[in-house]
């Protein structure tokens, strides 16, 4: 019997928690044996609100973590500013008291802040991939559905937790049991970790032109050092005039306007999800100065980068 503990961080994703807990319950039911037990913990030993305001009470205190075999950090929104030195010291101590340590959704950010992911491979929710890579260059962020690296495992969150837990069940108790659990949840197959977290660009933007899709991919890969219009056209195997026409036809804006949109979108993510300075954010997003960034940001979001960060820290 393996005992799991779920450390609930305020604002955690209820879907991420359910996707991790339910497969354990169903595995017990299908095996007609108590293969798994689970408990809920919170820092401070008080009830925790999920992002949907559902409340979960802890079943054991944090000082009982040594009773567990596995500790899984379950997080969600507003995690960028969570935790202090005492919390991260406790998390490091807890990692030494369990056999396996993991996270789901944005929980990997807390493990990284606790210096538990150095030179490890991990994943996180796709919205946080870019900001995570900027903050923790000594961690290999794969951006996949889930990752196992020795005694550490991480999950991007949401329904991906179901696939990760099915993989754990399969490894420990056989693939047949994992399939029985998957069938109970009408989950047609156990997704491998390398399947994309996000919908493909073609689906998200309803675009089927391969050259335009290639140009968009190249833009996303070159936000820190933006390419010129001609360089982008050359890399996409079309003329600058043809590229301009495709952007107008499908996206109703010029390549330069869309490129700026992508860079400002990344800027907003970094301001909300990281502790990087505004200057560092400007550099990471291809802006030559903080003043130029501020002008562009104000025009798009009706606030300055510093106001964005202050607003987010007060949430």
Residue 192 within any structural domain of the chain: no
Same domain membership, residue 160 and residue 34: yes
**Domain end: 157, 184, 211, which one?**
184
Selection from 128, 76, 132 nearest residue 120 by Cα: 132
Q: Which residues pair with 7 in a beta bridge?
A: 41, 73
Whether 155 and 104 have beta carbons less than 8 Å apart is answered as yes
DSSP code for 49: E
**CB-side neighbour CA atoms (13 Å) of 269:** 19
Residue 191 within any structural domain of the chain: no
Same domain membership, residue 214 and residue 159: no
DSSP code for 228: P
User: Sorting pLDDT into bands at 50, 70 and 90, what band is 199?
Assistant: very low
**Domain end: 184, 217, 252, which one?**
184
pLDDT tens, residue by residue, 65-123 = 999 999 999 999 888 889 999 999 999 999 999 999 999 999 999 999 999 999 999 99
For position 47, what pLDDT does the model report? Answer: 96
Q: Which residues, 6+ apart, have CB-to-CB distance to 183 below 8 Å?
A: none
Residue 116 within any structural domain of the chain: yes
Cα distance between residue 161 and residue 289, in whole Å: 40
Total domains, the chain: 2
Residue 237 within any structural domain of the chain: yes
Residue 249 within any structural domain of the chain: yes
Cα distance between residue 84 and residue 79, in whole Å: 12
Q: Which residues, 6+ apart, have CB-to-CB distance to 161 below 8 Å?
A: 16, 19, 20, 104, 146, 155
**Domain end: 119, 150, 184, which one?**
184
Count Cβ neighbours within 10 Å for each residue of 144-169 and write b for 16 or more, e otherwise: bbbbbeeebbbbbbbebbbbbbbbbb
Distance of CA 299 to the CA centre of its chain: 28
Same domain membership, residue 157 and residue 86: yes
Residue 279 within any structural domain of the chain: yes
Residue 193 within any structural domain of the chain: no
Same domain membership, residue 28 and residue 92: yes
Same domain membership, residue 16 and residue 96: yes
Count Cβ neighbours within 10 Å for each residue of 194-213 and write b for 16 or more, e otherwise: eeebeeeeeeeeebeeeebb
pLDDT tens, residue by residue, 53-76 = 999 999 999 999 999 999 999 999
CATH number at residue 119: 3.40.50.880
Domain that holds residue 41: 2-184
pLDDT tens, residue by residue, 217-246 = 899 889 999 999 999 999 988 899 999 998
Residue 30 within any structural domain of the chain: yes
Same domain membership, residue 268 and residue 173: no
Nearest 5°: phi and psi at 288?
-70, -20
- pLDDT greater than 80 at residue 1: yes
CATH number at residue 220: 1.10.10.60
To the nearest whole number, what is the mean pLDDT of the chain? 90
Same domain membership, residue 281 and residue 147: no
Selection from 134, 141, 89 nearest residue 119 by Cα: 141
- pLDDT greater than 80 at residue 16: yes
55-56 and 48-49 strand pairing:
antiparallel
Residue holding tokens 């962020």?
141
Cα distance between residue 266 and residue 278, in whole Å: 13
Same domain membership, residue 276 and residue 169: no
Cβ contacts of 146-149, under 8 Å, gap ≥ 24: 146/193, 147/121, 147/122, 147/123, 147/193, 149/120, 149/121, 149/122
pTM: 0.70
């Amino acid at each position: 019997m393996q005992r799991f503990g779920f450390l609930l961080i305020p604002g955690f994703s209820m879907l991420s928690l359910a996707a991790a807990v339910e497969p354990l319950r169903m595995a017990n039911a299908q095996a007609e044996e108590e293969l798994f037990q689970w408990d809920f913990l919170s820092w401070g030993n008080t009830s925790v609100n999920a992002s949907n305001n559902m409340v979960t009470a802890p079943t054991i205190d944090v000082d009982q973590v040594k009773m567990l075999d596995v500790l899984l950090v379950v997080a969600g929104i507003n995690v960028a500013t969570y935790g202090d030195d005492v919390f991260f010291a406790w998390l490091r101590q807890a990692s030494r008291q369990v056999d396996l340590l993991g996270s789901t959704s944005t929980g990997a950010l807390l493990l990284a802040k606790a210096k538990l992911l150095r030179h490890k491979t991990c994943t996180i929710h796709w919205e946080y991939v870019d900001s995570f890579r900027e903050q923790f260059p000594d961690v290999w962020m794969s951006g996949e559905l889930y990752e196992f690296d020795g005694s550490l495992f991480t999950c991007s969150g949401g329904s991906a937790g179901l696939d990760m837990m099915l993989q754990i069940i399969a490894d420990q108790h056989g693939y047949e049991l994992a399939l029985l659990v998957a069938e109970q949840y009408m989950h047609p197959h156990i997704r491998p970790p390398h399947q994309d977290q996000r919908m493909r660009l073609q689906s998200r933007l309803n675009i089927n032109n391969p050259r335009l899709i290639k140009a968009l991919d190249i833009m996303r890969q070159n936000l820190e050092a933006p390419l010129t219009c001609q360089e982008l056209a050359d890399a996409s195997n079309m003329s600058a005039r043809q590229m301009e026409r495709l952007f107008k036809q499908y996206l109703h804006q010029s390549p330069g306007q869309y490129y700026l949109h992508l860079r400002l979108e990344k800027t907003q993510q970094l301001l909300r999800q990281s502790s990087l300075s505004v200057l560092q954010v400007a550099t990471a997003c291809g802006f030559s100065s903080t003043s130029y960034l501020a002008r562009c940001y104000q025009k798009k979001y009706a606030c300055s980068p510093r106001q964005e960060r202050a607003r987010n820290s007060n949430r």
